[in-house]
Structure formats: structure tokens, C-alpha cells
A and B are shown apart, each in its own frame.
Chain A
């Protein structure tokens, strides 16, 4: 059957092209995403020009506007392993808190894209209102609503202001009111359109990587549970899983994760340990292990930073593996058989991050 090539262009939120081979009736036979436009080669930039890990952190943060904390957390933790630095409990708690706030922020950003396409502005408006609330809360905790700049090698760059925990608790309570009705609103406005659309499955084989997309297709994998770090060693963590593998499952897993993160934040805020925010000797410690790595569960799945340090403590190499490397494979598979008119919706449900993917 003759096919034709269709190119969908995206510029906001990110710049990439989706090339589809479609049949005459508009059914997609093959899909390919091209995202090389944002290639910033952060790994190379760090090993060439920002070799001091304290300086490199600023570039690493700018791998992604939506999950910069995940990147600085993985990077700083890998460097801290190399330097045998143990971060203080308060720093660990605030890093965990920021990671879960970032997950809510990123999921709401993703859900607002899906909402705009599937349900229009009436569905997108409350999602974005919640995004504005959680970014205000991030600013209260870290000082910034995007690129928080809270991590440093050895702990945190700054402590919370004395009034922040109380303010944050009040803001969290109203964020909760905004988050709770979202699931019902999505199901009412967009459930039928999302159900059965863009199924990602690989029968008999484990899906590659971790993240909400995989957990919407039956995988139970989550780095926070498999290889716990920070306070995930102690906190009880619910991991929502669905088996359908369709766009509705991907959206539902994110909607459920909003509430899981909310509960974790609530618990963390109520019991923040006191004390120092930076490990002693963060500036002066010497290299004990040359090559280290660290994986964290970023909002989109496993984010892994592999760092090699020279004897003088400067970085000689940085390799980053981002979750979109796995999800993009899923998207290409899920788009087969979907109608061209629904492609944008399936893309939104996969929440790819070309910025992360091209940034490495």
C-alpha cells in the first residue's frame, strides 16, 4: 500500500520533528522522532571547559528546565561518592523534598500538554493553576521556581529561610486541594479519547528503563525502590502501576504519582531534621574513587550520571543517560496503527524530553 511522509513540527515546549509514514487513510505505519536540534553536549562542555565540579554543576543544571534537580542530584551524588563525602541529614531531607516537588511540577507540565490537546482550555486551566502553585512552593523552598540552584557538592547551597517550612505547609495544603480533583476531571473530559490509544507493549520482554511510561505498561521498576538513595531508604513509597499501556494509563500513572509525591512532601515537611546543610570539607576533600556513577528516578525515569575525576579533583569525563532514550523507543512503537490526527496526543502522553536527550 502506498505511504506518504508527514512531518509534525514542535517548537514550544521543545524543538523537534516527528516524521511519520502514513497510509492513505491516515494510519501511521512508521514513526521517527528527530531531536538533534537542541544538542548542547553538556558532557563534553564539562570535561572541556567546566572541569571544576563546583562550576560544572551550573551547566549540568541547565540540561533541562523541567528536571534540573534530578540532574544536579545525580551529578553531585556521583562526585560526592568519588570524594567520600556524606551529606548531612538535613541536606538529604531537603534534597528529597525538592525532588518530589520537581516531580509534581514536571508531571503537571506534561499533563497540561495532554489536557490542552485532549480536553481544551477548560481541562488545562486547573492543571496549570496547580503548576503555578507548586512552582511558587519550589521558590519558597529553594529561592527559584525553575533551575532551583539548591544543590552543591557536599549538600545544599543554602538553607531554608526560618519562615519557609510554615509557609510551605500552608501552600502545600492548598496545592493538595488543586491536585485531588484532577484525576476525575481528566477521566470525564478526556478518558474516552485517551483509552486504547497508542499502546506500548513488548510481550514476553521487559520494557527498557524505568519511569511513568514503563509503569503504565505493567513495569514495576522505580530507581527509588530498586536502588534507594536519600530518604527513600526509609520512606514508604507507593509505586502506581497500570497494565493497559495506553495513553490513558500513562496519564493516570502521572496523576496518581502527583498524590504519592504530595504525601511524601507532607511527611518530609513535618519532620525536617535540624543541623548543618553541607558536609565538612566539601571544598578540600581529595579523590578516593576515580570513576563513580549515580542513578536517580527523575520525573521521566532513570537519570544516570557517570563521572570520572582526575587526581586533582577536576572532571575528566561525564556521561549522562536520560530516561527519554528509552521512552522514545516506546513512542515509535506506540504510534504504529494510530491515526495521524491523534499523533500529537500520543506524543504528549509519552512526555518525552528532547532537552534532556539533546543536552547530553
Chain B
């Protein structure tokens, strides 16, 4: 990754397991930078159970068009053990069906997040040429 790739992590109520792997990822891939706003992001990563208090924040996530959304960890994918009977994550209008990639695990190792990010970056580049 030559140019800095800006990653926006949206933590929707994580145990910090995925965030620890994410911090490890930043050390493994010096080309990655965290950013705080959707508009700057080259990739958006969702982690964590969707807690009630986070529903409004989740609705406000607005990826720029073409920016991939990566769901990381069991919670970020399906709410894992915390899945409420009505399966609320897919009902968030802004995020419903919004996933360019899934990284499975509880938590997934940083190396697997890195691999998925690299594959997405490659896809993005070939789409541009």
C-alpha cells in the first residue's frame, strides 16, 4: 500500500477484541491511517454489536459512493451471541445490505483483516483502470 489508505472504524458496541486486532493491523501495515469522518475514508470498517444507544450513530454513517464497507468480527457481521430475536443490524436503513466484505472471527486476526483490505484495494484499482 503505497499511498496512505484511510480507514474509518465505526464501533457499534464492541468488546474491544476487534479493536485490539485493528491496533495490531495499524502496526503491521504502516500505510494505513485511522480517520474520523466518513467523507475522508477510503474504507469503512464496522465492528461491534449494534447497541440501542448506537442505532442513531449507525444511521448517520454515510460512506462516499464506491467506498467499501467491511464488516469485521462476528458482532459486526451478525451481532454474534448478542443477536436479538429480531435481527436488528440489517434493519438500519443506512447499513442494510451494506457490505463489500466480511472478515469472520471472534475476533479475526489482524492478518486476515489486512488480506481482505488488500483484496478490496486491488479491486478498487482494477475498477479505475
Q: Which A residues are within 8 Å of any B CB, using their own CB?
A: 9, 11-15, 36-40, 45, 50, 58-59, 62-66, 68, 109, 112, 125, 128, 131-132, 145-147, 353, 355, 358-359
Give the number of chain B interface residues (Cβ < 8 Å): 32
Known: A12-B23, A37-B54. A62 touches B13 (CB 8 A): no
Q: Which B residues are within 8 Å of any A CB, using their own CB?
A: 9-24, 27, 34, 36, 48-49, 51-54, 57, 80-82, 106-107, 109
Give the nearest-CB partner of B21 in chain A.
A146
Interchain CA distance A69-B80 in the complex, whole Å: 19
How far does the Cβ of A268 sit from chain B's closest Cβ, in whole Å? Answer: 24
Give the nearest-CB partner of B18 in chain A.
A65
How far does the Cβ of B71 sit from chain A's closest Cβ, in whole Å? Answer: 16
A39 touches B53 (CB 8 A): yes
A66 touches B36 (CB 8 A): no
B24 touches A128 (CB 8 A): yes
Give the nearest-CB partner of A128 in chain B.
B27
Q: Please give me the 6 A-B residue pairs with the lowest Cβ-Cβ distance, nearest first.
A: A65-B17, A65-B16, A15-B11, A13-B19, A355-B16, A38-B13
B24 touches A147 (CB 8 A): no
A355 touches B20 (CB 8 A): no
List the A side residues contacting B27 at CB < 8 Å: 125, 128, 132
List the A side residues contacting B10 at CB < 8 Å: 11
How many contacts between A and B, using CB within 8 angstroms? Answer: 99
B13 touches A39 (CB 8 A): yes
B24 touches A12 (CB 8 A): no
A14 touches B57 (CB 8 A): no
User: What are 21 A-to-B residue pairs whose CB atoms are below 8 Å?
Assistant: A12-B11, A13-B19, A13-B23, A14-B19, A15-B13, A37-B13, A38-B14, A38-B51, A59-B81, A62-B80, A62-B81, A63-B15, A64-B15, A65-B17, A65-B18, A68-B17, A128-B24, A131-B24, A146-B21, A147-B106, A355-B14
